Chain A
Amino acid sequence: MYGRKVKLRLFFILSVSLILILSVFLILRSLEENVIYFQSPTEIKILSEVEKKKIRVGGMVKNNSISIISNEVKFVITDFKNEINVIYSGVVPNLFTEGKGVVAEGYLKDKNFFLATKILAKHDENYMPPEVKAALEEK
């Protein structure tokens, strides 16, 4: 139906795509550690040794866990399986509240204590007006 040249070009495109997809896949696999933006408390728990370098821990801020004394903020990050205590001194973002997502950047003291140098609030995928939120909470 099609000429030999069309088939040749089709074959060329297919083999180029295959090679490129495979190489991108392999690169991503080998870089997985860097692609992941933060680790969960469970992943911290199963670490074989406490890392010295800067890492990020993410999860939910545990309810009733935030205590602010002068400039020091203490709270607990949970993934509902494991928890980690975080100590941070500085200004927290406006959206940092209990029961919401958070990413803390800093250093592990041990597997239960994390010294944060930066706090980022993680926003979730829920978008709604305040009235709808209030109605949902009443239910």
Chain B
Amino acid sequence: MFKHFEPNKIFSITVKAPKYVLLLFVIILSIGLTEALILSPEDYKQSHSVRIMYVHVPSAWISLGIFSSITFFSVIGYIFKIRNFFLISKSLAPSGLVFSIIALVTGSIWGKPTWGTWWAWDARITSMLILVLFYLIYLVAWRIYEKDEKVFKVTTIITILGIINVPIIKYSVDWWNTLHQPASINILSKSTIHTSMLFPLLIMTAAFALFSLLIFLMKYNTELIKIKNKGLDRL
């Protein structure tokens, strides 16, 4: 499959995509922010600080989703030697890192008025911090190793170690006593968030997903250009 990789063909599509994604992102984000900041009601207990959730929860979801995708592409790419999958993984990582940091920072800002503390070493928060560190290690590995063979192997092992942390983040609130509250949105049982608050949350998630796609496409195009200018394979 390595032989069938044609940067030019892929590039002709991905180079046009960002402007459409950007347009869609701006539209969805405007709707999402209007819903989240103006139209949605305040919470019965937290009042207006509930609005932080509309940034916090989508960021956390997206950062977990991106890490899972990176792992998927890395493992499949490693087993079947698909170079393109590694370029996809590498291009996905920066927006994942940014969203995992946003989730931690907004959580901290919410925690101060709600819990009474900026930071707690509970299982959910600590495992989220570990995710940020994994994103950092992953990106650093791409910078350190020169040879493709080596960097593919090292980053794949980093993602496997990091993916173990993902179910720990998800279920930490159920497995252990944590300060962080359990999930409000459940697929199997009834959700404990009112529809008027769920709606802006989902729109904001869509907006953040589009933003990740935009950053991904820009990074990916850069990677393809680097491949095309052989000899400038690595900056």
Contacts and interface: CB of A to CB of B under 8 A. Distances in A.
* Chain A partners chain B: yes
Given A119-B116, A123-B114, A13 B42 contact: no
Contacts of B75: 13
B116 A121 contact: yes
Contacts of B155: none
Contact of A39 (B80, B123, B177, B192): B177
B41 A130 contact: yes
B228 interface: no
Interface string B164-178: 110010000000111
Contacts of A46: none
Given A40-B177, A123-B46, A123-B114, A20 B194 contact: no
Contact of A93 (B116, B123, B156): B116
B7 interface: no
A45 interface: no
B79 interface: yes
Interface in A88-132: 92-96, 103, 118-132
| Contact residues of A: prevailing secondary structure | mixed
Contacts of A39: 177
B181 interface: yes
Contacts of A96: 116
Contact of A36 (B53, B164, B177): B177
A116 to B, nearest CB: 12
Interface string B113-145: 111110011110000000000000000000000
Interface residues of B, number: 42
B43 interface: yes
A20 B177 contact: no
A21 interface: yes
A6 interface: yes
Contacts of B42: 129-130
A38 B176 CA distance: 9
Interface string B142-162: 000000000000001100110
Given A37-B178, A122-B115, 5 more contacts: A13-B160, A37-B177, A40-B177, A122-B181, A129-B197
Interface of B: 41-46, 50, 53, 75, 78-81, 113-117, 120-123, 156-157, 160-161, 164-165, 168, 176-179, 181-184, 192-194, 196-197
9 contacts: A6-B79, A13-B78, A36-B123, A38-B179, A93-B115, A121-B115, A129-B42, A130-B44, A132-B194
The 6 A-B residue pairs with the shortest CB-CB distance, nearest first, are A93-B116, A129-B41, A133-B44, A37-B122, A128-B194, A127-B193
